[in-house]
Chain A
Amino acid sequence: MHIPDGILPASVCLGGYATAGAATWYSLRKIRRKENPREGIPKASLLTAAFFVASWIHVPVPPTSVHLVLNGLLGVVLGYYAFPAILIGLFFQAVMFQHGGLTTLGVNATVMGVPALLAYYVFRLRNFLGKGSRVGTGLCAFLAGALGIGLAAAAAMTILITTMPAGIGTEAERTSIYALTLAHVPLMVIEGAFTALVALFLQRVKPMLLEG
């Protein structure tokens, strides 16, 4: 999921920075139009911390293992704050642990951040099911959480497959990328369930905290 340095060609890295820049600009513009843009910062900051740590939580899916990403959860709880939050979280993961990389920061932010925004839109569908409905909130949160990680895994796979360098063991590398992407299917269920739990908990104790 976190694409490290030296894997992608320079043009893809630059393109990633361009899309990440555009998405950040869009998110910040939406945030500025809020009544009180600073209101969401504490929540966003705490969830950035959760996102930063989540990638250390590994879920074994034989024959490999995948780690939590929580981008769907960030989208559900933070709304437009999710994109800057993911960008900052990824930056710290890259500089501290070489988890991802600085040249691929834009690509990774796009791959995880844009699905987070889509997850936010999916979660807002609960308004059609009745805002107070627990079933509606739980269902939409589950879908949003699963969609966030699923789309991110699919996007990362597409980028990796299409930019595969010709030559050494391409077939083996492609097979292992497919295997790793398939391993994210159980993770979709886990993240969807976790997102639903958090959303339902917040709706019970502090519904104001839920965006949309």
Chain B
Amino acid sequence: MKQKLFVALAVSFILVAIPVTAFAHGARITYQTRTAIEITAAYDTGEPMEGAQVTIYAPDDPSTPCFTGVCDENGRFTFTPDLSKPGTWDVQVRHAGHGGIIHIPVGEETAAQGGTCYTPLQIVLMAACVVWGLVGTALFFARRKA
């Protein structure tokens, strides 16, 4: 009885231990979790920058594009930065001569999200300040001579 059990164990051990390489045509698929960054580009009217050209520069070479691509119809583009190059990755988006650059910190200080835009309230407040400055200038120069 004890011997039978031993044989059964030995057979199953051999079956499990047969090297995988014995099967030719085997596909080698591995996976690794990586961090991708999705950018969304839109005009300040909210209209997505569909078909905008995206150029991405790695921190170690700010003159040669690392990735290039085109935004989809929602103005989105996703890329996977090489985490072995920490620093600021520059992403340039351009469409019909419009566009901008966003600097994305990658590495220890990676932020979950960020952007280059202000809220509508901030915009209105800033515009109001500038307009008031200009109106004030006009009033100053238009004052009656004492």
Q: Tell me the A residues contacting B by CB distance below 8 Å.
A: 2-7, 38, 41-43, 45-46, 48-49, 52-53, 56, 58, 64-65, 92, 96-99, 156-157, 160, 167-169, 172-173, 176-177, 179-180
Interface-lining segment among B6-14, B16-24, B76-84, B97-105: B97-105
Q: Given A96-B130, A172-B53, A176-B51: A42 and B139 within 8 A (CB)?
A: yes
Number of residues on chain B facing chain A (CB within 8 A): 33
B68, A168: Cβ atoms closer than 8 Å: yes
A53, B100: Cβ atoms closer than 8 Å: no
8 A Cβ contacts from B37-70 to A: 43-45, 47, 51, 53, 55, 65, 68, 70
B53, A173: Cβ atoms closer than 8 Å: yes
Please classify the interface of chain B as helix (H, G, I), strand (E, B), loop, or mixed, using the class held by over half of its residues. mixed
Q: Tell me the B residues contacting A by CB distance below 8 Å.
A: 43-45, 47, 51, 53, 55, 65, 68, 70, 92, 94-101, 116, 118, 123, 126-127, 130-131, 134-135, 137-139, 141-142
**Number of A-B residue pairs having CB atoms within 8 Å of each other in the complex:** 89
B53, A5: Cβ atoms closer than 8 Å: no
B134, A46: Cβ atoms closer than 8 Å: yes
Query: Cβ of A53: which chain B residues have Cβ within 8 Å of it?
Result: 127, 131
Interchain CA distance A171-B78 in the complex, whole Å: 22
Q: Given A45-B135, A45-B141, A172-B53: A3 and B97 within 8 A (CB)?
A: yes
Query: Cβ of A99: which chain B residues have Cβ within 8 Å of it?
Result: 44
Q: Given A42-B142, A48-B134, A168-B65: A56 and B96 within 8 A (CB)?
A: no
Measured between C-beta atoms, what is the minimum distance from B65 to chain A in Å? 7
Among B51, B100, B116, B127, which residue has its beta carbon within 8 angstroms of that of A96? B127
Q: Given A45-B135, A48-B134, A177-B96: A169 and B141 within 8 A (CB)?
A: no
Knowing that A4-B98, A53-B131, A169-B53 are A-B contacts, what are 8 other residue pairs whose CB atoms are under 8 Å apart, sorted by A's residue number?
A7-B94, A41-B137, A42-B137, A45-B135, A49-B130, A49-B138, A169-B70, A180-B96
B96, A42: Cβ atoms closer than 8 Å: no
A160, B141: Cβ atoms closer than 8 Å: no
Interchain CA distance A168-B95 in the complex, whole Å: 12
Instruction: List the B residue with the shortest CB-CB distance to A6.
Output: B101
Query: Cβ of A167: which chain B residues have Cβ within 8 Å of it?
Result: 65, 68
A177, B97: Cβ atoms closer than 8 Å: yes
Measured between C-beta atoms, what is the minimum distance from A89 to chain B in Å? 9
8 CB-based A-B contacts, threshold 8 Å: A4-B98, A4-B100, A52-B131, A52-B134, A98-B116, A173-B53, A173-B95, A176-B96
Instruction: List the B residue with the shortest CB-CB distance to A65.
Output: B45
Interchain CA distance A176-B98 in the complex, whole Å: 10
B96, A45: Cβ atoms closer than 8 Å: no
B97, A180: Cβ atoms closer than 8 Å: yes
B130, A92: Cβ atoms closer than 8 Å: yes
Instruction: List the B residue with the shortest CB-CB distance to A159.
Output: B97
